[in-house]
Amino acid sequence: MNKRLIALGITAVIVLSLVGCSTEQNTSQVKNNTTKQMTVKIDSSLAMLQDNYFQANATVDKFLNDWLTLDGKDGIALLNSKAKQGKSAAQLEHYFTFVPPGHESYEVVGYRKVSNNEYQFYVWMYGTAMGLYGSNGRPRTNPEFITVIKQNNKWSINNLPNF
């Protein structure tokens, strides 16, 4: 086995020597390998997303994941006073843990920047008994929205969407 590998290696060296395995290029090769510069046009209407967007989006995703996993404690912790307004602790817990319908899935389907400290995210929230129907039994025609705001350098949920 070792003799075959050695013979194969020697054969490879001989073939490469005969063919010419040089790292230098002749002048005709250099002339044909010139580098072309390209001008790239950037669409100025495509603005870079700011860090605030990613932080707001992460807050919405965490909230929706808490809803999906029936985690009332962490979900309620993301709500600000406006979202909690007029609701008892039991009602808030019920929002996250009400089964049936089971919380099946959610989709974030878009967003709107209201200001540097406020975003609205459009979401579909699905449950076993709901599908595309709202709690009133009528087909949903539009996604719900979740507003997130930044206060005191902290992002929080400003409203409870219907599901």
pLDDT at residue 147 greater than cutoff 90: yes
pLDDT confidence of residue 18: 59
Q: Which pLDDT tens digit goes with each residue over 66-103? A: 998 889 999 999 999 999 999 999 999 988 887 665 67
Q: Averaged over 5-10, what is the pLDDT?
A: 67
Residue length, the chain? 163
Per-residue pLDDT band at 45 (split at 50, 70, 90): low
| Full residue range of the structural domain in which residue 146 is found | 65-157
pLDDT at residue 23 greater than cutoff 90: no
Taking alpha carbons only, the member of 140, 100, 137 closest to residue 123 is 140
pLDDT at residue 141 greater than cutoff 80: no
CATH classification at residue 151: 3.10.450.50
Q: Please give the share of the chain, as a percent, with pLDDT higher than 90.
A: 43
Mean pLDDT of the chain: 79
Residue 152 in any domain: the answer is yes
Residue 81 in any domain: the answer is yes
Residues 6+ apart with CB under 8 A from 61: 108
pLDDT confidence of residue 20: 58
Residue 14 in any domain: the answer is no
Residue 72 in any domain: the answer is yes
